[in-house]
């Protein structure tokens, strides 16, 4: 054998053993969280603000302030129903979403009364690029975030349904917004919000570790969404996946963490990338 070829083979074998030793073994119990927001900039997010083109961050509404994704209205003279949303780049179906949020400052002049200390996590959203130029909200399931007004109880992690319906207690549930069982959170305190999303099966809302709402079988239907393309709203169609978005709804809000645990993946224990916490099998992802 040529000495050059022999040395090359020895080198390849050596590198192979080194790489094999350096690759950590899969721990089926170790959770692999995805940081959707990096704390520095808005990379991997797409912005759609009503009456503006995709990724026109009108008046710098979405900013990173002190390491938190923040909705800012300093440039607005009047809110004028300029509803906005910022979408993460990838869609998901089965996952646990976790964020820490708080309301700060004063509501934008002209903001609706109901939008005081009000924001939302829009889940199973239509794609940002499919929204109409004048569309107010994406067709989605909204996990409504509310802060206390000091005058009345205001639960948080409620359910709102722009262009959608769900099932509750085995029955089709058509009201637009439904309160959770959470307590009221006052002032500028940080609140941990988690949503367990299981495709078209079940949604579970969790506030600071307490389950406050569950429902099932999200589907297209109902109103409270305007300016959409008619082909995208076929009432009765089940919704099993979609994008994740954060609202700008006239009250300054901060999100200092937005992370996701994907629950869809290889569920074969013999595979190198098996995880015990997966809830939806994606056999094509298995590596052996």
pLDDT tens per residue across span 6-63? 555 555 555 555 445 455 689 999 999 999 999 999 999 999 999 999 999 999 999 9
Q: What's phi and psi for 116, nearest 5 deg?
A: -60, 125
Partners of 195 in the β-ladder: 97, 205
CA dist 39 and 116 (Å) reads: 26
| Strand positions, DSSP E, the chain | 33-35, 45-49, 62-65, 68-71, 84-88, 94-103, 118-125, 141-146, 158-160, 164-168, 171-173, 177-178, 191-198, 202-207, 210-220, 243-248, 253-262, 264-265, 280-281
Q: Where are the domains of the chain?
A: 33-265
Q: Write the pLDDT tens digit of every residue in 113-147.
A: 999 999 999 999 999 999 999 999 999 999 999 99
Architecture of the domain delimited by 33-265: Sandwich (2.60)
Q: What are phi and psi of 129, to 5 degrees?
A: -70, -15
Task: Write down the pLDDT at residue 2.
Answer: 59
User: Model confidence over 141-173: pLDDT tens digits?
Assistant: 999 999 999 888 999 999 999 999 999 999 999
Q: pLDDT per residue over 168-198, tens digit each?
A: 999 999 999 999 999 999 999 999 999 999 9
* Residue-level pLDDT at 150: 86
The pLDDT value recorded for residue 14 is 54
Q: How many CA atoms lie within 13 A of 5 on its CB side?
A: 2
Q: Please state the φ and ψ torsions of residue 29, each to the nearest 5 degrees.
A: -95, -15
Give the tens place of pLDDT for each residue, 200-244. 999 999 999 999 999 999 999 999 999 999 999 999 999 999 999
Average pLDDT of the chain? 94
- Per-residue pLDDT, 19: 46
pLDDT band at 5 (very low <50, low <70, confident <90, very high): very low
Show Cβ contacts of residue 50 under 8 Å, excluding neighbours closer than 6 positions: 81, 82, 83, 84, 134, 135, 136, 227
- pLDDT for the residue 67: 98
pLDDT above 50 (res 271): yes
């Amino acid at each position: 054998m040529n000495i050059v070829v022999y040395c090359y083979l020895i080198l390849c074998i050596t590198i192979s053993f080194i790489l094999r030793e350096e690759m950590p073994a899969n721990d089926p119990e170790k959770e692999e969280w995805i940081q959707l927001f990096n704390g520095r900039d808005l990379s991997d997010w797409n912005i759609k603000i009503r009456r503006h083109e995709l990724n026109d961050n009108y008046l710098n509404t979405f900013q990173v302030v002190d390491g938190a994704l923040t909705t800012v209205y300093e440039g607005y003279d009047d809110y004028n129903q300029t509803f906005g949303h910022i979408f993460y780049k990838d869609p998901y179906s089965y996952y646990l979403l976790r964020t820490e949020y708080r309301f700060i400052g004063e509501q934008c002049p002209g903001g609706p009364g109901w939008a005081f200390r009000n924001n939302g996590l829009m889940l199973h959203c239509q794609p940002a690029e499919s929204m109409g130029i004048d569309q107010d909200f994406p067709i989605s399931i909204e996990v409504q975030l509310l802060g206390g007004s000091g005058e009345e109880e205001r639960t948080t992690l409620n359910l709102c349904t722009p262009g959608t319906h769900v099932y509750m207690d085995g029955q089709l549930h058509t009201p637009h917004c439904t309160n959770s069982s959470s307590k009221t959170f006052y002032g500028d305190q940080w609140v941990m919000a988690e949503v367990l999303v299981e495709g078209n099966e079940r949604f579970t809302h969790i506030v600071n570790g307490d389950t406050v709402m569950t429902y099932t079988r999200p589907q297209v239907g109902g109103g409270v969404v305007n300016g959409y393309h008619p082909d995208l709203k076929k009432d009765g169609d089940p919704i099993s996946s979609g994008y994740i978005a954060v609202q700008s709804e006239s009250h300054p809000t901060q999100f200092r963490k937005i992370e996701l645990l994907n629950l869809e993946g290889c569920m074969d224990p013999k595979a190198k990338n098996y995880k015990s916490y997966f809830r939806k099998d994606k056999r094509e992802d298995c590596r052996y």
